[in-house]
């Protein structure tokens, strides 16, 4: 099995506070996006890692990220320029994975069983509490249908709003979706290549794109600690969780 990871860090906004996008801000002295790189490397050093960043930060990546790391942390990653939105950024990352695959994989062996399967895990850099164990569960689950998504139970009560009215819904029927979402690399790239413009706004994650293309989705247990850092208040919580994970 050949493994690729696309870490999406293409945002350019400052909604999370600070003077730079959140993916470059430090958590326990390490730039946020690098915690995800660490997790994939810890799970399997052979995984090919592609980091997608906004074009405004492409040439300052070394200064913003690598220069903040100890020498032994400056691991090799493949850096690519993101697009106008998340879908375009993921597509750019997948295209880079295929380029690397063509350089390193043997095409005539790709369809000859699980041993030569090629999978990609797409992960949002804003989820720095990623663990090797969660990644491992994704690699195992994707073998079932070609697509695998980590989910956690919804703990809050839910209400559905329709035409300014609301009604209670059974939260047991719902799951909150996380990343990394794992897929057959070629199938996911094909799905991204065929997205009609009319449906792009409604596709909020990779599973949505894959499902539209007919790729089966297997759900596997996520982790409540695998939260998404969104606002300024999330940084302190993220650091506390990382301290617990690494103690």
Residue 26: its H or E element? strand 26-27
> Are 221 and 131 in contact, with CB atoms under 8 Å apart?
no
Q: Which domain holds residue 71?
A: 2-245
pLDDT tens, residue by residue, 30-43: 999 999 999 999 99
pLDDT of residue 244: 92
CATH of the domain at 40: 3.90.550.10
> Are 188 and 121 in contact, with CB atoms under 8 Å apart?
no
Q: Which distant-in-sequence residues (6+ apart) come within 8 Å of 133 by Cβ? A: none
- Average pLDDT of the chain to the nearest whole number: 91
Rounded to an integer, the average pLDDT of 182-211 is 94
| Burial (CB count <10 Å: 0-12, 13-18, 19+), residue 110 | middle
pLDDT tens, residue by residue, 40-72: 999 999 999 999 999 999 889 988 898 888 888
- The helix-helix angle for 132-145 and 32-43 (nearest 10°) equals 70
Rounded to an integer, the average pLDDT of 178-189 is 97
pLDDT of residue 110: 46
Count: domains in the chain: 1
User: Is the preceding omega at residue 180 within 30 degrees of 0, hence cis?
Assistant: yes
pLDDT tens, residue by residue, 116-157: 799 999 999 999 999 999 999 999 999 999 999 999 999 999
């Amino acid at each position: 099995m050949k493994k690729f990871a696309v870490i999406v860090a293409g945002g350019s906004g400052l909604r999370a506070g600070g003077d730079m996008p959140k993916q470059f801000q430090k958590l326990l002295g390490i730039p946020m996006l690098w915690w995800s790189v660490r997790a994939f490397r810890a799970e399997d050093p052979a995984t090919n890692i592609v980091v997608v960043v906004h074009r405004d930060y492409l040439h300052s990546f070394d200064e913003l990220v690598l220069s903040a790391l100890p020498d032994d942390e400056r691991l090799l990653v493949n850096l690519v320029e993101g697009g106008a939105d998340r879908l375009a950024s993921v597509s750019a990352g997948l295209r880079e994975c295929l380029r690397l695959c063509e350089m390193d994989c043997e095409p005539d062996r790709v369809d000859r069983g699980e041993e030569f399967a090629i999978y990609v895990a797409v992960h949002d850099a804003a989820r720095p509490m990623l663990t090797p164990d969660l990644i491992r569960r994704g690699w195992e689950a994707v073998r079932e249908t070609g697509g695998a998504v980590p989910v956690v139970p919804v703990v809050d009560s839910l209400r559905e709003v329709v035409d300014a009215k609301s009604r209670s819904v059974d939260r047991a029927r719902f799951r909150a979706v996380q990343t990394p979402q794992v897929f057959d690399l070629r199938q996911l790239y094909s799905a991204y290549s065929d997205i009609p413009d009319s449906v792009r706004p409604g596709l909020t994650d990779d599973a949505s794109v894959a499902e539209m293309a007919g790729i089966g989705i297997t759900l596997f247990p996520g982790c409540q600690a695998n939260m998404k850092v969104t606002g300024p208040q999330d940084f302190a919580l993220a650091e506390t969780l990382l301290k617990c994970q690494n103690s």
